[in-house]
Amino acid sequence: MKFQTHRLSVSTRGGNDIHDLTPGVTKLLDDSGLEQGQVTVFAPGSTAGVTTIEFEPGLIRDLPEALDRVAPMGVPYHHDAAWGDGNGYAHVRAALVGASLVVPFHGRRLILGTWQQVVLMDFDNRPRRREIVVQILGE
Amino acid sequence: MKFQTHRLSVSTRGGNDIHDLTPGVTKLLDDSGLEQGQVTVFAPGSTAGVTTIEFEPGLIRDLPEALDRVAPMGVPYHHDAAWGDGNGYAHVRAALVGASLVVPFHGRRLILGTWQQVVLMDFDNRPRRREIVVQILGE
Amino acid sequence: MKFQTHRLSVSTRGGNDIHDLTPGVTKLLDDSGLEQGQVTVFAPGSTAGVTTIEFEPGLIRDLPEALDRVAPMGVPYHHDAAWGDGNGYAHVRAALVGASLVVPFHGRRLILGTWQQVVLMDFDNRPRRREIVVQILGE
């Protein structure tokens, strides 16, 4: 049983940019040589989240549109009034989506649905370079 | 310290069907003989999620009604326009609820609140057979 | 590799009270002496959740205001009709935010963003004493 703590660098464009992390996570798992365990994917930073979705162009638009109903981009935020950075919506969305995801693996393969991908959602209002944590625990 | 990776089969009816997974998870934990650790519950598939709630008839209606405010069932989705399967709302809801949950255990018992159950929410618009992953890590 | 299962006691005021758990979690991690691993933070109870956010006064108001759009405090809930405790909104919010969060650590430090804190959100409509689970797994 051992831990491996890796980083995946992702350059994002800002404004609800969604990235498929599955190929990067799969590569790290292949390289680990571990048979069974779990991968924790964590987004350091308070304007990005990690979840799973079918990574296809329609849903890449649908998901931010749904979040517009919860934390719209065009309304006042107390955060923005105090700090003036205009990304209050992004903080709220990130808190709701969540920073961590845990995906089990078995037989050296991630146990994901056929149409299910691990994604980073970067909500911030400017391009960012994200260093996503991929921590593998297994045997 | 060891991993056990199990599956719980759940037959769902479609349309925001919520199932209490606690008895099944508890049974697997009892059988494991492990004293301390954590259980990861993961929904493979992109139209279902895992969370905790007090599993009682009122909330089983309240939770989908709240999600109707975020990802309504009667509005157009880009996903549906492209794929025609009419479950765009289900994908969005699943991404927001999240596919993974981690519950600690100690003294051979899940550390849950008195009125807190582990639930599968299947949002898809048709009956499905779900194979939920229950991965126990402990000592 | 070992598990340590701790509790953090938090007294909450009710009504979307948000608490920064980061100092308490950091102290437990410092005391553990562990180098690499992950901390699972779990809220037992069905009216509280755990997530990360920049813990500053603006967002402490923005996040509940966003949740008002999903699970408003002033509308009827089936839960309240049956049980009369008036906290249906709190159950729904807790289920959406989620009860568990997993934060990796490395070099004896939590891998969090500079402005990212681990927070408890207690949605219940009365003061509570919460015993939050902080489970450290590491080597």
Architecture of domain B8-49+91-139: Sandwich (2.60)
- Chain pair A-C, CB pairs under 8 angstroms: 106
**What does the pLDDT read at residue B70?**
98
What's the gap in Å between the CA of A56 and the closest CA on chain C? 24
| Tens digits of residue pLDDT in C108-117 | 999 999 999 9
Q: Which chains touch B (3 or more CB pairs under 8 A)?
A: A, C
Q: Is A15 exposed, middle or buried (0-12, 13-18, 19+ CB in 10 A)?
A: middle
Question: Along the 139 residues of chain A, how does pLDDT read in single tens digits?
Answer: 899 999 999 999 989 999 999 999 999 999 999 999 999 999 999 999 999 999 999 999 999 999 999 999 999 999 999 989 899 999 999 999 999 999 999 999 999 999 999 999 999 999 999 999 999 999 9
Q: Which of A51, A70, A139 faces B95 most closely, judged by CB atoms?
A: A51
Kindly indicate the confidence band of residue C25, based on its pLDDT and cuts at 50, 70 and 90: very high
For C37, the closest of A3, A92, A100 (CB atoms) is A3
CA of C115 to nearest chain A CA: how many angstroms apart? Answer: 7
What letters, b where the CB count within 10 A reaches 16 and e where it falls short, cover C56-78? bebbbbbbbebbeebbebeeebb
Cβ separation A91–C62 shorter than 8 A: yes
Partners of C83 on chain B (C-beta within 8 Å) are 56, 58
CA–CA separation, A40 vs C107, rounded Å?
Answer: 17
pLDDT for residue B32: 98
pLDDT of residue B67: 98
Whole-angstrom distance, CA of residue B93 vs CA of residue B18: 13
% of chain B residues with pLDDT over 70: 100
| Whole-number Å distance between alpha carbons of A56 and A22 | 13
Query: B18 with B118: CB under 8 angstroms?
Result: no
Out of 3.30.300.170, 1.20.950.20, 3.90.700.10, 2.60.120.460, the CATH code matching A23-138 is 2.60.120.460
Closest to A90 in 3D by CA, of A123, A60, A127, A121: A123
The ipTM value here is 0.97
CB C40 within 8 A of CB C102: yes
Q: Which CATH superfamily is domain C2-138 in?
A: YjbQ-like (2.60.120.460)
pLDDT at position A97 is: 98
Flag whether residue B92 sits within 8 Å of chain A, measured between CB atoms: yes
User: Mean pLDDT throughout B52-59?
Assistant: 98
Domains in chain B: boundaries: 8-49+91-139
Kindly report the backbone phi and psi dihedral angles of residue C97, in degrees, each rounded to the nearest multiple of 5, phi listed first: -70, -40
First to last CA, chain C: 4
Cα distance between residue B28 and residue C65, in whole Å: 40
Query: Could C96 and B101 be called an inter-chain contact, meaning their C-beta atoms sit closer than 8 Å?
Result: no
Task: Give the C-alpha separation, A89 to B99, whole Å.
Answer: 23
Burial of residue A83 (number of CB atoms within 10 Å: 0-12, 13-18, 19+): middle
| Residue among B19, B66, B15 nearest B41 (CA) | B19
Enumerate the residues of chain C whose CB falls inside 8 A of the CB of residue B1. 1-3
A115 touches chain B (CB under 8 A): yes
Percent residues over pLDDT 90 in chain C: 96
Q: What is the pLDDT of residue A41?
A: 98
Distance, C-alpha C52 to centroid of its chain: 8
Which helix (H) or strand (E) is C67 found in, with range? Answer: helix C57-70
Among the partner residues B79, B94, B99, nearest to A101 by beta-carbon distance: B99
User: What is the pLDDT, as a whole number, of residue B37?
Assistant: 98
